[in-house]
Every structure is written in C-alpha cells, then in structure tokens.
Structure 1
Amino acid sequence: MITHDIFSIQDEQDFKEAALATFAYQFENNVVYRSYCDLLYKHPGDIQVVEDIPFLPIQFFKSHRVISTQASSFTNFTSSGTTGTSSTHFVTDINLYEKSYLSAFRHFYDSVSDYAVLALLPSYLEREGSSLIYMVDDLIAKSNHPKSGFYLHDLDSLANTLNELEKQGQQTLLVGVSFALLDLIEEKSFNLSHTTIMETGGMKGRRKELTRAELHEQLKQGFGVKSIHSEYGMTELLSQAYSKGNGIFKCPPWMRVVARETDDPLSIKQDNTTGGLNVVDLANYHSCSFIATQDLCKIHTKNTFEVLGRFDNADVRGCNLMVL
C-alpha cells in the first residue's frame, strides 16, 4: 500500500498491511531508524504483527535528522522547547501533512467549510515553525467564513465575534491553548450552543497545571457548553487524534496507539492498561511512523486512549543505544 492509500484504510487488515509496508520502507531508507533497528536486531523479516515493530524514542527528533528520503528541501516544524532542547520534524511532502489533517477533520467533524474557525493560540503564534499554526491557518482559510481568523490578545474582539456568531446560529469552532481559554472566560462569560470549544492542551508555564477533568469543568462552565473537545498532536506527528468529550481521544483510520512500560519502547502492553504512549502514524511516511512518546496514557482500544500526563525528565530507554 503506497502513501496516498493510507487514507483509504477500511479495517485492521488494511492497517496491518500498510504498517508493515511502511516499516519495510523506513527500515531501508531512514538511516537513524535503520541503525536503531539493527541495534535491536529487529528487521522486516522478523516482524509479523504491528506491535512487534520497533518504536523510535521521540527524543531522537531532538538530536538527529529523522528522515526516510533523499530529498534536500524541507518544511521544518519545531517544538516550543519548553522542556529543553526543541524537536525538529523535517517534512518533505507538505501536501501529505495537509491531506492528513484535512482528512482527519472531515472524519470527525465533516467539512471545515461548514464552520467559522476562530483560533486563540498566542504561545504558538508568537514563534516560528509550529505545525499546529500551519494546520489551523489552513483550516481558517478553507472555512471561507469572513469571521474566521486568529485572535492573539484581542479578547474583546473574540468575545464579540463568538456572541455574534451564536446569535446567527453559525456552527463555530474555537481552537485554543488551555491558558488562553481560561484567560478568556475569566474576563467574559458565554452561553454557547453553536460553538465547539477545542483545547490543544498545555499551560506553557503561564498558569498552574490542572488535570484535564478540572480544566474541562472550568471551561464548560465559562463557555456554557456541555462538553470540551481536545486535539492530540505534536511536532513529531503529521496526524491528530480528537476527543469530543471526557478526554477520550479517537484516532483516524491511519493512526493507532499502544501502551508500553514507561521507560521501555519495546515492552508492549495489552488494551485497557496504563503506560507510556506509543503511536503509529502512517502519515509520517517520509520520517518515522513508529514513535515512543513521553506521554503517559490509558489505552482503551487500538484507536482510543486517554492522556494522563507526561514524564519529561525521564528518557525512554533506547536513546543511549546510538551515537551517530
């Protein structure tokens, strides 16, 4: 199954075939990943199920150029670096990223042209290289609504727009970083029935960290909505999972999740358990599709999960296997 076919995946057999083919391709073409697999004595001929594919510790995106291509032109997405050295994702096919997020949005929310898309993402907008800003900017453009746009610090204008769209019965999406959404409801009050509030997580050092349940309760009260949606994504991934409430994320058909021991990317657990979050993102075709993140999770099924927190100060075992 070639790259564009990942968006036609219908069932687990389709996903398995695509994942095994992607692993074989990246094993042959990604120097960093190949070296990691060699040190683990894990080769395509040894792999029969997706869970046996080696997951690359996400820290390698901070120290190495993780690419599966000979291309010399990249769109570089970088992390904020709030926990130390920033990660860089070298994206050789920006069209693949665009197709991934547009297909995922359509999968969970229908066409973006049905929405007015408002964004409150100050910490992301104030730096360069954010993959989230790239995605939201494109969603704003494709919404084709005159009120769609970014609201950096103009909370008055944002509040007026939300209330105006509410009166019109316009289906609206407000995407915001957690601390900025809390800032907004501290200054303004709302009673919204046509607006989806989607938090992207993170206090970015601006506020005291809250549990997701605490955050969502405050946001529900402040915006007058019944549920808070969430987006799970990161610099190192080209796909996003979405939650429509209660912090339960669902993956699009070309993305899967499994849990592991927190310090070991090779120790896969079963469903309905907690551990470190490993992600298979087949849209990462030209980098690495098999990532051991530093998020703690509870896995419900292969495509539904909760994020319980992070363990930023503990390296995933395996990072010290290579010095390239």
Structure 2
Amino acid sequence: MNNKNLMDYESIEKILGFEDPFNIEPSISRELRFKSLKASFEHHYLNNKVYKGFCELANVSPADIKNYEDLVLIPLVPSDFFRDVSATGRHEDLVHISSVPDEQIARYFTTSGTGGQPSIYPYDGRSLGTINRSNAIIFKKVGGLKSDDYMLFLTPSTDKADTGMVQGMYLTMKGIFKDTDSQLDFAIQDNIFDTKSIVNKLTKAKGRTRHLYGPPYAYNQLCEQMSNLGLEMRLDPESKAITTGGWKSFKDEAISPSELKEKIQKAFGIAPQEIRDGLGLTDIMSILVECQYGNKHVPPWIEVSIRDLNDPSWKTDVAIGKDGLIAFLDPLISSFPAYIVTGDVGKLTISQDEKCSCGRYGATIEYVRRAGDPRGCALRQEQLMTEVESKRKTK
C-alpha cells in the first residue's frame, strides 16, 4: 500500500485553533470539514487494504468526492465490524484494518461492545493527541469546565479500566486541568463503591468548582445510597453532573433520565440545566455534550448525518427531525477509517447552519433508540470480514 500520510492537518489545525470552534461561521467550518474529510478519505483508501477493497465493492473512490454534498458517498463501516475483528483474537487482523504502519500504533482502546464482546481500536500517537485536544475543547466550550476545577469519576481508576469512557475522559481532563493528581479522583477503589468515601472526597475538594462524571447507573446507585444514609450535600453554583453510557441498571432495568435528574439535584444541589448528558461516540473516543438547553452539540470537525433506515446502501440522508441511523465521519483519526454507521437511531434537532438557543452554531443530535438489525448491516459486515480474511491469506 501507499504508507504515506495524506491527512490534511492544516485544515484540522485551523478548525481546532479558533478561539471558540462552536462559534465559527457555518460556511467556514463546512469548507474546513470538507477539505479535511476529503484528504482523510484518500489517506485511508490508499493506506488501508481492507477499507480499499470495501470501497471498490461500493464502487467509490476519492475521485468521486468532489464537493461537500459528495461526503454522503464515503462508504460507512458498521460499528460492530470492529467487534467482529476483535473477536478473532489475532493481532494481525487489527493490523490489517489499520491505515498506518504497526510500529506507529501507540495504544489500543476498548469499548464494552454489544453482547458483551469488546471492540478494540488502534490509535497512533498523533491521532490520540489531536483527539485529546478536541475533546478538551468540547468540555471547555460546551461543558463549561475550567482549568482550576475538580472532577470525581464515578468509575474505577485508569489502571483498573481500559475503556474509552475512563481512559479517554482521563486524557481529556489532563488537557484541561493544571494538575490532574490533585484535581481528579475516582469513586471506585479496590472494586468498592463507598458512598461515605465519595462524600469525603467531594468535601475535601471544596474551594474548587466540583463536578461529577460517570454512567447513569453509578449516579443512580450513589443517590439511592445517599438517600438511605440520610446524606445530602450542596456542591457549587457551576458544578456539573455529566452522564454518559447506557440508561440501564446492573439488573438491566431502565433508568428514567428525568427521575435521575431529580435524584442528583436532591443529593448534590446541582441545578437541572447543569446536569448534562453526553452521547458517547465510542468508536472515535469522543462525546457530544449537552449545553444548558439540553441539546447535544456536534463539534464542527465531525460530520454527523442521519441515514435512511430503509436504504441498505446508507447513502441517503433524512431531513432534520426525522429518525434514522446515526452516522459520523471523523477526519482526526489517521490510524483507521472513522466513517462509522452506528446501531443507533437518532435525529438531528438543529441543522449545521443554525444557532442553538445557547448561541452556538452547528448541528445538534438526539438519541432515540437502538436500531436492532439495520438493513444492509449484515451484508457489509460480511464484506469487510471477507476482506480481512483475504488479506490474512495473501500476507
């Protein structure tokens, strides 16, 4: 293969370098996003044998991407493909789906995946650095976090959890906080979720603006235990409670977002508009954070679209407000083609050209439900795995 990095880092740096990327004029962000995605597609097409074979089956090449409207033609990879490759247990298969030489891979990150099977993603050092910077921008500009704040993860520590939820967010906080050793801590120690210890940690951090971060079930467990113990505490006027992950308990029972907000407000005195949910884009280690109006903002470097559930080619967008498969294209990652169609149904609530009530430009998205078995997914999974198998045999 080409083995030459063709990414458009100049456009990427421009869009990340604005004082507030969420206030860029839509025409400017669209141009930079198109240029970086066009270059990214050429990079993966020429450097990734598996993805190139997949694109040839779809009869799409970089020459077909002439303008912004053509981005919808870029062949999308089902998110579960990474799960299937990871399930083989062969490192060589992870190498085959990478677009950079194996020696450039700095780290592998995992997600919990569907059906309990984890998905593993290869990241090179430059992509990791860019992702961490971009996530820090999201949490500073939309989440409102500041360099002197304190955050408590309602999770195990980074040496006990290798998921993007923990590892990715920790790296993001390192890009925001002045001293993560004193400004960040973890609630779960030695597999023990001790409520009194959590309250003590938050009490000791008084003097900084204190925030919470974790999955809904952890908040639910913490709030219920505090209620049972008769504990309440008042955090700070600008404190945030950021949730991410599935809205199910350990017993697979649904957790009501509105009820959980009430519990968090009662336990910690956090204002409702400061209890923010985040839609985790686990395949690319990013997150779409809610603003104070409850809208999940798509950063201007990511192209998010909603694809027609009835079109197995996934080349048809649906209108604003209509349900469809959530798809996203990320130009920041050079180590694998981050053009993902998820197994989630969602809808755009604000277009790329509009402003939210919070004053920020850009698309906002709403998660609706899991899609089940989207049309076309099984076929594309089979096509991609066939490419992986063929590359292994011809190595």
Q: TM-score, normalised by structure 2?
A: 0.73
Q: 2:302 aligns with which of 241, 244, 255?
A: 255
CA RMSD of superposed structures (Å): 2.7
User: Does the aligned pair in 2 maintain the 1:82–1:204 contact within 8 Å?
Assistant: no
Q: 1:319 aligns with which of 378, 381, 390?
A: 381
User: Does the aligned pair in 2 maintain the 1:257–1:304 contact within 8 Å?
Assistant: no
User: Does the aligned pair in 2 maintain the 1:240–1:252 contact within 8 Å?
Assistant: no
The within-5 A match list for 1:117-156 is 117-122=151-156, 128-139=161-172, 141=174, 142-144=177-179, 146=182, 148-152=184-188, 153-156=193-196
Q: Which amino acid aligns with 1:310?
A: R
CA distance in 2, matches of 1:78, 1:69: 19
Aligned length: 321
Q: 1:174 aligns with which of 212, 227, 232?
A: 212
Q: Which amino acid aligns with 1:104?
A: I
Q: Secondary structure at the match of 2:323?
A: strand
Q: Higher mean Cα deviation, 260-269 or 84-93?
A: 260-269
Q: Deviation digits for residues 263-315 of structure 1, max 9, x if unmatched?
A: 73333222221111001222223211311011111112243101112235557
CA distance in 2, matches of 1:314, 1:70: 33
Provide the residue aligned with 2:390 in structure 1: none
Matched, 1:102 2:136: yes
Provide the residue aligned with 1:16 in structure 2: 34
Matched, 1:276 2:325: yes
- Unpaired runs of 5+ residues, structure 2, are 1-6, 16-23, 86-93, 227-231, 353-362, 388-395
Q: Which amino acid aligns with 1:151?
A: A
Q: Which amino acid aligns with 1:61?
A: F
Relative to structure 1, the CA distance from residue 310 to residue 262 in structure 2 (aligned partners, 3 Å threshold; closer, same or farther) is: same
Q: 1:38 aligns with which of 56, 62, 70?
A: 56
User: Does the aligned pair in 2 maintain the 1:279–1:291 contact within 8 Å?
Assistant: yes
Relative to structure 1, the CA distance from residue 78 to residue 101 in structure 2 (aligned partners, 3 Å threshold; closer, same or farther) is: same
Q: Which amino acid aligns with 2:210?
A: T
Q: 1:69 aligns with which of 100, 103, 106?
A: 100
Q: Higher mean Cα deviation, 175-184 or 191-200?
A: 191-200
Provide the residue aligned with 2:348 in structure 1: 299
Relative to structure 1, the CA distance from residue 312 to residue 221 in structure 2 (aligned partners, 3 Å threshold; closer, same or farther) is: farther
Q: 2:115 aligns with which of 83, 86, 97?
A: 83
- Unpaired runs of 5+ residues, structure 1, are none
Q: Secondary structure at the match of 2:142?
A: helix
Q: Secondary structure at the match of 2:240?
A: strand
Q: Deviation digits for residues 189-229 of structure 1, max 9, x if unmatched?
A: 34433420001122565141235444434434443322311
* TM-superposed deviation, 1:38: 0.9
Q: Higher mean Cα deviation, 132-141 or 302-311?
A: 132-141
CA distance in 2, matches of 1:116, 1:4: 33
